[in-house]
Homo-oligomer: A and B are copies of this chain.
Amino acid sequence: MSGEEKKRIPKTTVYRLSVYYRALSNLEEEGVDSISSADLSEIAGFSAAQIRKDLTYYGQFGRPGRGYVVSHLKSQLRTILGIDRDWSVALVGVGRLGRALLAYKGFRKQNFIIEAAFDNDPEKVGKEFSGVRVYHQDEMDKVIRSKKIEMGIVTVPEEVAEIIVAKLIDAGIKAILSFAHLPSIFSNGIKVNQVDLSIEMEGLSYYLTHSK
């Protein structure tokens, strides 16, 4: 009531909220307009109790006896996840992977707008890939600040990843998705999500090795 009510939110809850959001988007497309936690459970792959518990960290979105209104819950999740607005994104490293991501339609659909790309190859600087202009890495600070970019995607080779991340942070970026492995020293107040293909493959290898 009065005073802050900060319940500790499990780290994995946010991930699950994204999964619920995706499931609800699909349900909406299928024309389903309301759903119970039990039914959502089957689609999302987490227990009904888990779903209800996750949601109540943020409020009350359903009605006893009725379940959740799909469009309403979806909209609430958009707000909770912060995707009820556009986000400006910079991509650093216009190699094959970088260009694949620049061409990926999913980002724009989700309101993540890649406003600028950076590379140090003079061949690429000044060009556009999938409609995104490539700037020289030395212009990162200037361009990021002038375009008020808030997120970074890092697709540079491993060897320079750390330097690039430092540059992004210097330019005021506080949230980064890196495809290069980084030594795990995250400055405080900076969120770095890593997509590490080697680790993913090793997870598969471990599974196959220990499951027979």
User: Which residues of A pack against B, CB within 8 Å?
Assistant: 14-15, 17-19, 21-22, 26, 43-45, 80-83, 87, 89, 95-97, 99-101, 103-104, 106-107, 110, 112, 150-151, 174-177, 181, 183-186, 189, 191, 193, 195-211
Contact = CB atoms under 8 A, between A and B. Distances in A.
A100 B95 CA distance: 9
A205 B19 contact: no
B204 A177 contact: yes
Nearest to A204: B175
Contacts of A199: 15, 18-19, 22
Contacts of A186: 45
A125 to B, nearest CB: 20
Contacts of A193: 200, 203-204
Nearest to A155: B100
A108 to B, nearest CB: 11
A81 B206 contact: yes
A47 B15 CA distance: 23
9 contacts: A19-B184, A19-B199, A44-B184, A45-B186, A81-B202, A81-B209, A96-B100, A110-B198, A175-B205
3 A-B pairs closest in CB distance: A82-B209, A45-B184, A96-B100
A151 B203 contact: no
